[in-house]
Amino acid sequence: MLDREVIDAVPHALRCRFAQCQTPKCREVYALLRHGTQCQVGVPGGCLLCKKMWLLLFYHALPCQEDDCSVPRCSYFSEIREETKRRVQAEKDGEIHKKAALRAAPGA
């Protein structure tokens, strides 16, 4: 998993253009994001830097609560997270209803 300091540097690195920035991990994250926009291989081709970049974006999105977050794909990953939560809850609710129906059935 990625280090919290790296994940927290994503929004800053997207805005920062100062080559001598003192924000921890800024240059590392900036270089990784820049690589992701220029790489011709990508994750399907086996590029580990691209895989790390996508994981970084995903891990940023997990706790992010901003409606208009500027981090690429943040809202996409947030939508997936929320849809997964809804699906899991619906499955749990369905199981609860099935168990209740079984208990209430005659001869049970």
Residue 102 identity: L
Question: For the domain that residue 83 is a member of, what is the CATH number?
Answer: 1.20.1020.10
How many domains are there within the chain? 1
**Residue 18 neighbours by CB under 8 Å, 6+ apart:** none
User: pLDDT averaged over the chain?
Assistant: 87
Which range marks the domain in which residue 67 is found? 4-104
**pLDDT tens digits in sequence order for the chain, 108 residues long:** 578 889 999 999 999 988 788 888 999 999 999 999 999 998 888 899 999 999 999 999 988 988 889 899 999 988 888 898 888 988 888 877 777 777 777 765
Long-range contacts of 81-84 (CB under 8 A, 24+ apart): none
- pTM of the full predicted structure? 0.72
